[in-house]
């Protein structure tokens, strides 16, 4: 009889723990998550430290004020060498499949 009681108590404890985790996940409102993700994206987009030499951010070439392009024929790369093509717009990125 005691093993069954111990097993029942263990399952009850697991259920309480899972319910607590679910409540904690729901405690953060979706708009807070969205705002946090937007801010993270903004920081990453403007962070030059992510480039190979720490001098260019995504926003360096994909300027938000210019429709996420730079309006020049070619743009120099991170090391200053001439580019081979123009900077593509990022306006359609939301429609692309996520990178994995």
Main-chain phi, psi angles of 50, to 5 degrees: -80, -10
Burial class (CB in 10 A: 0-12, 13-18, 19+), 96: exposed
> 3-22: per-residue pLDDT in tens?
666 656 665 655 555 555 66
Q: What is the pLDDT of residue 12?
A: 60
Q: Is the pLDDT of residue 26 over 90?
A: no
Three-state SS string over the chain comes to: CHHHHHHHHHHHHHHHHHHHHHHHHHHCCHHHHHHHHHHHHHHHHCCHHHCCCCCCCHHHHCEHHHCCECCCCCCCCCCCCCCCCCCCCCCCHHHCCCCC
* pLDDT for residue 10: 61
pLDDT tens by residue, 54-100: 998 999 888 888 888 888 888 787 788 888 888 888 888 878 887 76
- Per-residue model confidence (pLDDT) at position 45: 94
Task: Indicate the pTM of the whole model.
Answer: 0.59
pLDDT at 44: 95
**Confidence bin at 24 (pLDDT 50/70/90):** low
């Amino acid at each position: 009889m005691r093993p069954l009681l111990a097993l029942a108590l263990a399952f009850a404890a697991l259920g309480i723990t899972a319910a607590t985790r679910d409540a904690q996940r729901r405690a953060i409102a979706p708009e807070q998550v969205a705002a946090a993700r937007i801010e993270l994206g903004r920081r990453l987009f403007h962070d030059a430290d992510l480039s190979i030499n720490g001098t260019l951010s995504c926003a360096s070439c994909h300027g938000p004020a210019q429709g996420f392009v730079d309006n020049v024929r070619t743009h120099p790369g991170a090391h200053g060498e001439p580019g081979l093509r123009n900077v593509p717009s990022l306006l359609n990125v939301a429609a692309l499949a996520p990178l994995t």
